[in-house]
C-alpha cells in the first residue's frame, strides 16, 4: 500500500530543505497577517462572534497540512461558506446567541463528516456536476448578497437578513435619516483605501493596514463614544477541545445546508487548487482533497470553529509569498494561535465597519463579468445556464440557487445526449476520407447509399432519435436506399437497450432489402457487440469494416484491396481477428477490422424498415 496516497505529507516532508523552510516561514507569516482580520470579518458575516473566525483558522490548517495535496492552498473561513452558514443557522436560531454558535459548530462537524465520507468513497468526481457557468452565476449572485448583507454594519441600521437584495436596499433607503455618518465615512474610507492599496501596492497586507488604521482612528478620535460599533473584548486563549451538542432535530434541519456547503467548499478548493497545481508542476487528487477538507472541518468543529475551505485570495497571497509546501499553513496556524494568546487586546477598538469593508472588498472580485461576455461569443446556451443560476440564487437563496443550477446543467446534458449530433458523410475527392456534407459541400455522395455518423454514446435515451433520424434521411433521398453505412467512430459506449434496437433496425433493413454496414467500431462498443453475438453475425456476413471507405466499396459491389492475410475460416474467431478486407488490426486496435464484401441480398419489396 502506498502510504503517500493517504498521507500526502510524506510526499514533501522527506525532501524538505532549509530553503523550503525559509520560503514557508515568510509565506506563512504573510498569510497570517491577511487571515486574522479576514477570519474575524467572515465570522461576523456568518453571524458569529469574531473570535470564532480565529478558532476556525488554526486546527483546520494543521489537518489540511497532513492530508491535503495542494501545496499552496490556504484553508480557512471564506465569504461563501460564511454566508451559507448565516442563511442556514439564522433560520433556526437568533444571531449571536449561544445556540447560534453551537449550531454553527455542529454544522462544521456535519460538513466535515460528509466530505470525509465522500473522500473515502473516492467520489471526487462530484465536482464535475458543478459546471463553470453554474459556478460563475452562483458566485456573482452570492457576491451581491454578501455585499448587501454588510450594509447594516456600514450604515449602522437594522436591516433584514436574507437574499432579497432589492428589499434590503429599499429598507436601507427607507431608513436614510437613521444612517450613522461617522460609521459610513469610516467604512467608505476603508473601502477606498483597500482598493487603492490593491492597485498601487498589491504586496502590502492591506487588510491588516485597514484594521490597524481604523482601530487607531477609533481610539484617537473617540469614535466609539460617537456611536461607531466596535468589536470590543475578544477572549484571549486557545479554544478547548469539545464536541458540539448533538440535537437530531437541529441536525436534520441543517443537513441540506451541510450538503450544499460540503460540495461548494470542495468545488472551490478544487478550482483554486488545480490552478496553482498547474503552475507548481504537481497534481491535485480530488478524492484526497475531500478527505483533507473533511478532516479540516472536523478539526475546526471540535475546536469551536465553523466550516472552512480554501480561499482564492489567500491562496494567491500564500503562493506569491513563496509557499512551497503545506508547512506554510502550519506557520499561519501558529501565528493565529499566538495572536489569540497575546494580541487580542489590540482588537478591542476595531470598528465593525472596517471588517465589513474588508469583506466587501474581498467579494467584489467574485462578481464575474468576463464569463458572461465569453459565453455570449462561445455558447449562448451556457450563458442561459449562468443567467438561470444567477437569478435563482438571487430569488430563492444560495442553497437552492446552486442546486437548481447544477440540476439544470445535468438536465441539459441529458437532453443533449438524447438528441446527439449526427452527420451525413460524403467522400472527399481524391482521398479515402469522409466528412460532413453540410460543412463540406464538395464531398461526394453515392446514389442509394447513405453514410451516417452519430457523435455520442448510444443508449436507451437516444434510440428513438436514431430511428427517426434514419427515417427522415431515407425519405429525403432521391433514389431508393440500398445500403446504409453507420460510421461508429463517434460512438463510445453501447448499452443493452441500444444493442437490442440495433438488431431490430438491422432486421427491418434486411427485410426491406437494404444492407446495413458498420465501420470504425471502437473497442468498448465492439466488446458489447461481441458478448451479445452481434459482432459474429456481422463478421460472418462481411458487414463490419475497419474503415468507411472499405464499407463503401462493399456497398457499391467493389472489392477492397487485400493488403493482409485473409480472415480465419472459423466463424468463432476472436473479435480482433475477424475478417480482413484490408489490414488486420492488432489485438488492442480501437475499431473492428474490415471484412470482405459479400454478394448483394436478393431484391425484396420495399417498405419503411423503421416504420
Euclidean distance between CA atoms 422 and 465, whole angstroms: 10
For the segment 5-13, the average pLDDT, to the nearest whole number, is: 85
For the segment 248-274, the average pLDDT, to the nearest whole number, is: 90
Rg (alpha carbons) of the chain, rounded to whole number: 32
pLDDT at 220: 92
* Helix/strand/coil (H/E/C) assignment for every residue in 32-86: HHHHHHHHHHHHHHCCCCHHHHHHCCCHHHHHHHHHCCCCCCCEECCHHHHHHHH
For the segment 544-558, the average pLDDT, to the nearest whole number, is: 90
pLDDT at 262: 93
pLDDT at 5: 77
| Average pLDDT score over the chain | 85
Euclidean distance between CA atoms 185 and 226, whole angstroms: 13
- Please give the backbone phi and psi of residue 230, each rounded to the nearest 5 degrees, phi first: -120, 165
Highest mean predicted confidence (pLDDT) among 266-270, 566-570, 594-598: 266-270
pLDDT at 584: 33
Q: Is 516 helix (H, G, I), strand (E, B) or coil?
A: strand
Of the candidates 316, 311, 315, 280, which has an alpha carbon nearest to the alpha carbon of residue 11? 280
Segment among 176-185, 278-287, 464-473, 572-581 with least mean pLDDT: 572-581
Beta bridge partners of 421: 455
Q: How confident is the model at residue 560 (pLDDT cuts 50, 70, 90)?
A: low
pLDDT surpassing 50 at residue 567: no
pLDDT at 2: 67
pLDDT surpassing 60 at residue 459: yes
How far is residue 389 from each of residues 130, 255, 260, 362, 392, measured CA to CA in Å?
11, 22, 15, 22, 5
For the segment 27-38, the average pLDDT, to the nearest whole number, is: 89
For the segment 143-161, the average pLDDT, to the nearest whole number, is: 88
Q: How confident is the model at residue 586 (pLDDT cuts 50, 70, 90)?
A: very low
Euclidean distance between CA atoms 99 and 575, whole angstroms: 67
Of the candidates 86, 436, 74, which has an alpha carbon nearest to the alpha carbon of residue 261? 86
Euclidean distance between CA atoms 168 and 263, whole angstroms: 28
For the segment 505-529, the average pLDDT, to the nearest whole number, is: 92
Segment among 149-153, 419-423, 601-605 with least mean pLDDT: 601-605
For the segment 548-562, the average pLDDT, to the nearest whole number, is: 78
- Using an 8 Å Cβ cutoff, are 87 and 163 in contact? yes
How far is residue 345 from each of residues 42, 234, 349, measured CA to CA in Å?
20, 7, 9
Report CA torsion sign: 306, 307, 311, 315.
positive
pLDDT at 550: 92
Percent of the chain whose pLDDT exceeds 90: 50
- Using an 8 Å Cβ cutoff, are 36 and 314 in contact? no
pLDDT surpassing 50 at residue 304: yes
- Please give the backbone phi and psi of residue 339, each rounded to the nearest 5 degrees, phi first: -60, -45
* Sequence-separated (6 or more) residues with CB below 8 Å from residue 129: 406, 409, 410
How far is residue 230 from each of residues 30, 51, 233, 354, measured CA to CA in Å?
25, 13, 9, 9
Per residue in 191-212, pLDDT tens? 999 999 988 988 788 888 998 9
- Using an 8 Å Cβ cutoff, are 187 and 318 in contact? no
Better-predicted residue by pLDDT, 132 or 290 = 290
* Helix/strand/coil (H/E/C) assignment for every residue in 157-200: CCCCCCCCHHHHHHHHHHCHHHCCHHHHHHHHHHHHHHHHHHHH
Better-predicted residue by pLDDT, 63 or 595 = 63
Euclidean distance between CA atoms 222 and 391, whole angstroms: 44
pLDDT surpassing 70 at residue 575: no
pLDDT at 456: 86
* The pairing of beta strand 449-455 with beta strand 483-487: parallel
pLDDT surpassing 90 at residue 11: no
pLDDT surpassing 80 at residue 239: yes
Q: Which three cell numbers stand for residue 360?
A: 466587501
How far is residue 132 from each of residues 271, 391, 471, measured CA to CA in Å?
10, 16, 37
* Helix/strand/coil (H/E/C) assignment for every residue in 552-575: HHHHHCCCCCCCCCCCCCCCCCCH
Residue 146, H or E segment:
helix 132-149
Report CA torsion sign: 195, 197, 202, 207.
negative
Q: Is 414 helix (H, G, I), strand (E, B) or coil?
A: helix
For the segment 552-568, the average pLDDT, to the nearest whole number, is: 60
Q: How confident is the model at residue 30 (pLDDT cuts 50, 70, 90)?
A: confident
- Using an 8 Å Cβ cutoff, are 574 and 485 in contact? no
Per residue in 53-75, pLDDT tens? 999 999 999 999 999 999 999 99
pLDDT at 318: 86
pLDDT at 603: 39
Q: How confident is the model at residue 610 (pLDDT cuts 50, 70, 90)?
A: low
* Helix/strand/coil (H/E/C) assignment for every residue in 294-319: HHHHHHHHCCCCCCCEECHHHHHHHH
For the segment 438-464, the average pLDDT, to the nearest whole number, is: 91
pLDDT at 568: 36
What domains, with CATH codes, occur in the chain? 16-408 (no CATH), 420-577 (3.30.750.24)
Euclidean distance between CA atoms 462 and 417, whole angstroms: 7
How far is residue 432 from each of residues 11, 411, 582, measured CA to CA in Å?
51, 39, 14
- Using an 8 Å Cβ cutoff, are 454 and 466 in contact? yes
- Using an 8 Å Cβ cutoff, are 498 and 460 in contact? yes
Q: How confident is the model at residue 1 (pLDDT cuts 50, 70, 90)?
A: low
Per residue in 109-122, pLDDT tens? 999 999 999 999 99
pLDDT at 131: 81
For the segment 351-355, the average pLDDT, to the nearest whole number, is: 91
Which region holds residue 448: left if phi is over 0, alpha if psi is between -120 and 50, else beta? left
Q: Enter the pTM of the model.
A: 0.72
Q: Is 458 helix (H, G, I), strand (E, B) or coil?
A: strand
- Please give the backbone phi and psi of residue 425, each rounded to the nearest 5 degrees, phi first: -100, 150
- Using an 8 Å Cβ cutoff, are 45 and 88 in contact? no
- Using an 8 Å Cβ cutoff, are 412 and 437 in contact? no
Amino acid at each position: 500500500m502506498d502510504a503517500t496516497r493517504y498521507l500526502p505529507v510524506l510526499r514533501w516532508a522527506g525532501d524538505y530543505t532549509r530553503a523550503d523552510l525559509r520560503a514557508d516561514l515568510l509565506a506563512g507569516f504573510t498569510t497570517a497577517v491577511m487571515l486574522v482580520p479576514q477570519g474575524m470579518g467572515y465570522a461576523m458575516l456568518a453571524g458569529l462572534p469574531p473570535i470564532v473566525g480565529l478558532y476556525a483558522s488554526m486546527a483546520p490548517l494543521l489537518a489540511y497540512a497532513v492530508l491535503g495535496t495542494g501545496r499552496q492552498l490556504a484553508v480557512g473561513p471564506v465569504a461563501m461558506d460564511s454566508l451559507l452558514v448565516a442563511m442556514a443557522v439564522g433560520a433556526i436560531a437568533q444571531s449571536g446567541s449561544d445556540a447560534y454558535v453551537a449550531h454553527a459548530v455542529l454544522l462544521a462537524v456535519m460538513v466535515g463528516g460528509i466530505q470525509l465520507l465522500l473522500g473515502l468513497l473516492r467520489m471526487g468526481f462530484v465536482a464535475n456536476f458543478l459546471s463553470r457557468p453554474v459556478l460563475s452565476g452562483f458566485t456573482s449572485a452570492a457576491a451581491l448578497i454578501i455585499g448587501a448583507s454588510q450594509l447594516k454594519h456600514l450604515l449602522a441600521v437594522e436591516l433584514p437578513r436574507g437574499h432579497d437584495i432589492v428589499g434590503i436596499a429599499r429598507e436601507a433607503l427607507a431608513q436614510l435619516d437613521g444612517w450613522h455618518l461617522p460609521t459610513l465615512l469610516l467604512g467608505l474610507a476603508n473601502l477606498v483605501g483597500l482598493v487603492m492599496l490593491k492597485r498601487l501596492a498589491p504586496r502590502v497586507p492591506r487588510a491588516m493596514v485597514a484594521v490597524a488604521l481604523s482601530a487607531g482612528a477609533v481610539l484617537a478620535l473617540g469614535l466609539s463614544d460617537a456611536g461607531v460599533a466596535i468589536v470590543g473584548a475578544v477572549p484571549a486563549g486557545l479554544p478547548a477541545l469539545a464536541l458540539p451538542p448533538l440535537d437530531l432535530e437541529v441536525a436534520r434541519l441543517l443537513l441540506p445546508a451541510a450538503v450544499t456547503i460540503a460540495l461548494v467548499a470542495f468545488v472551490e478548493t478544487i478550482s483554486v487548487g488545480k490552478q496553482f497545481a498547474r503552475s507548481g508542476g504537481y497534481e491535485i487528487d480530488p478524492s484526497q482533497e475531500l478527505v483533507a477538507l473533511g478532516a479540516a472541518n472536523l478539526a475546526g468543529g471540535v475546536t469551536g470553529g465553523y466550516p472552512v475551505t480554501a480561499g482564492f485570495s489567500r491562496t494567491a497571497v500564500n503562493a506569491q509569498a513563496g509557499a512551497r509546501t503545506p508547512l506554510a499553513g502550519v506557520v499561519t496556524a501558529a501565528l493565529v494561535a499566538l495572536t489569540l494568546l497575546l494580541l487580542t487586546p489590540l482588537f478591542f477598538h476595531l470598528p465593525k465597519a472596517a471588517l465589513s469593508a474588508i469583506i466587501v472588498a474581498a467579494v467584489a472580485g467574485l462578481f464575474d463579468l468576463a464569463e458572461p461576455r465569453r459565453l455570449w461569443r462561445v455558447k449562448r446556451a451556457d450563458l442561459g445556464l449562468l443567467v438561470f443560476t444567477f437569478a435563482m440564487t438571487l430569488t430563492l437563496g444560495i442553497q437552492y440557487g446552486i442546486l437548481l443550477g447544477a440540476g439544470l446543467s445535468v438536465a441539459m446534458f441529458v437532453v443533449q445526449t438524447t438528441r446527439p449530433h449526427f452527420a451525413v458523410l460524403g467522400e472527399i475527392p481524391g482521398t479515402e476520407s469522409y466528412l460532413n456534407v453540410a460543412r463540406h459541400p464538395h464531398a461526394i455522395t453515392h446514389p442509394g447509399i447513405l453514410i451516417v455518423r452519430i457523435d455520442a454514446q448510444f443508449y436507451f435515451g437516444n434510440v428513438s432519435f436514431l430511428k427517426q433520424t434514419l427515417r427522415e434521411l431515407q425519405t429525403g433521398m432521391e433514389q431508393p436506399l440500398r445500403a446504409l453505412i453507420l460510421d461508429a467512430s463517434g460512438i463510445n459506449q453501447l448499452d443493452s437497450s441500444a444493442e437490442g434496437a440495433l438488431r431490430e433496425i438491422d432486421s427491418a433493413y434486411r427485410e426491406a432489402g437494404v444492407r446495413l454496414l458498420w465501420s470504425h467500431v471502437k473497442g468498448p462498443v465492439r466488446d458489447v457487440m461481441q458478448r451479445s453475438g452481434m459482432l459474429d453475425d456481422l463478421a460472418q456476413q462481411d458487414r463490419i469494416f475497419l474503415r468507411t471507405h472499405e464499407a463503401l466499396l462493399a456497398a457499391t459491389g467493389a472489392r477492397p484491396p487485400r493488403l493482409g492475410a485473409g480472415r480465419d475460416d472459423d466463424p468463432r474467431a476472436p473479435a480482433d481477428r475477424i475478417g480482413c478486407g484490408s489490414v488486420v488490426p492488432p489485438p488492442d486496435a480501437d475499431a473492428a477490422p474490415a471484412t470482405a464484401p459479400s454478394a448483394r441480398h436478393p431484391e425484396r419489396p420495399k417498405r419503411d424498415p423503421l416504420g
